Amino acid sequence: MEQKKILLAIDGSKHSNAVLEKSIEYAKFLNAKIIILYCHNKFPVNLGEPYRDSQIAAIIRESEKLVAPFVQRLESENIPVEDRLMEEPAGKMISEVAEIEKCDLVIIGSRGFSNLTNLIVGSVTTRVLQTAPCPVLVIR
């Protein structure tokens, strides 16, 4: 039997910690592996070399720094974990990764960091609820 997979979507907000704790609970119950997904800002396209490369490196460095405590926490609980760092838009990427990885469950916060785009288009959580290929657990 194939191991269950839970996609844990984080954004660095205070809700991410609550989402982490709930994902630990579900992973233990389901004997599942967790895939952490963090969607960072888009890479710059208007900058020339070497500025573009230094900006990309900074974005990746910050993303890895944000994800590291989540990975460490899961490893301390002996839960298999992988991470994925993707470019936004988060609502689209969460559903795509869940489909590609054949996840059994997506766990996401009800709120997180938002920007003007999210206010105009709609929240990431709403988009994931509409497009995810598997059940979605929303944590308040």
Per-chain mean pLDDT for the chain? 89
**Which of left, alpha, beta for 80 (phi over 0: left; psi -120 to 50: alpha)?**
beta
In the chain, domain spans: 5-139
Residues 37-93 pLDDT 10s = 999 988 887 877 788 889 999 999 999 999 999 999 999 999 999 999 999 889 999
Q: Are 37 and 88 in contact (CB under 8 A)?
A: no
Contact 32, 26 (CB under 8 A): yes
Residues 87/63, Cβ–Cβ less than 8 Å: no
Bigger pLDDT: 13 vs 9: 9
Place of tokens 């994931």: 128
State mean pLDDT over 97-114: 87
**Is 117's pLDDT higher than 60?**
no
pLDDT of residue 114 exceeding 70, the answer is no
**Which CATH code of 3.30.230.10, 3.20.20.70, 3.40.50.620, 3.40.710.10 fits the domain covering 5-139?**
3.40.50.620
- Predicted local confidence at residue 1, as pLDDT: 66
pTM here is: 0.88
The whole-angstrom separation of Cα 60 and Cα 92 is 20
Q: Which of 65-69, 109-113, 123-127 has the lowest mean pLDDT?
A: 109-113
pLDDT for the residue 106: 98
